Structure 1
Amino acid sequence: MPVLFSALVPPDDVVEAVTGALGALGEPGDGLRWEPPERWHVTLAYYGADDLDTRAAWLAERLAGRAGADVRLEKAATFPGVLWLTAAGRELTPLAHAAGAGAEARPYVPHLTLARFPREEPGLAGRWTKALSGFRSRRWTATRVVLMTSEREPGGRCYRVARAFELGRA
């Protein structure tokens, strides 16, 4: 069974704004493993190993009739081992809970992962967190939730859109 999660994918111009902000800060490095822009997403809910068709039917039912969510990426922060941008928008948490985020033990924190680093070296992300503290993308309306598969491949993890669910206009 594939590992599944639901997510919002930022539009191309927002991805370009983030890559531009990162590029303006100099050459990435500092021992961080950067996520490539084609894998950037805002996770709504993680399901683990699950049957794709069953989860897709469940998610379609949960998202039916829901409005899109206004989203903006802003300031950087960290979890242990992860550098990320905050995904802000008051509709994000209700949308994530509809997608199943409330089933997890930890609280939902909407974010876009930029890079990973060894947990025992939290200072590695400090320069980037500080430099991206004032970052703000444009606000966009997410009108599509994707159900993604996560598979381990020789070069790392590969994310693929398995299904897409349209949301109404906010």
Structure 2
Amino acid sequence: MVKKTLIGLMAASAATVALTAPAHADQAVVWSLTQQVEPGGQIQAVVFAEWEVGCTPAGPVTSRGFTAPLKWTEGGEWGRHAGYTTAGRRPGKYTAAFPCTDGRKATGSFTITGTPPPGTTTHPKPTASTPTTPKSKPTATATKPAKPAKPQVAVKPAGAPQTGDGTLG
């Protein structure tokens, strides 16, 4: 229910912008795209072709952050085109785009939230061409290695009174 309400609010705010803006061939396309998603979550895109700044899609929405291109599978009033796809597993910010039949290209961005999976790094590993910190050379004032500890001498009891004779008193 909340998701449908948010989609309705996004469409209403986009309609307000579309109805007040003049139409120009070089004007950016107004469309909506899920802004944040968990890795492997569902992403939705919606565009209204009959709005002044909308467009009729000429192909799917593509992105490196998708597991497959988003195909337009739903239609509706105002030339509505909508579709769904699945987000990839690698967190980060991604760009998505699709072509319009009038020659414009619609672009948008979204974020896959979370932390990178184990074993991935955001920094490159050092290579032969990457400078590394040189190891320090030993100096004449270097400390001497520690002497090994002497083994402890076992104490032998002097006789029966110190160890007991084995009888119970």
What TM bracket, shorter-length normalisation?
under 0.3
- Normalised to the residue count of structure 2, the TM-score between the two structures is 0.23
Structure having the higher helix fraction is: 1
- Normalised to the residue count of structure 1, the TM-score between the two structures is 0.23
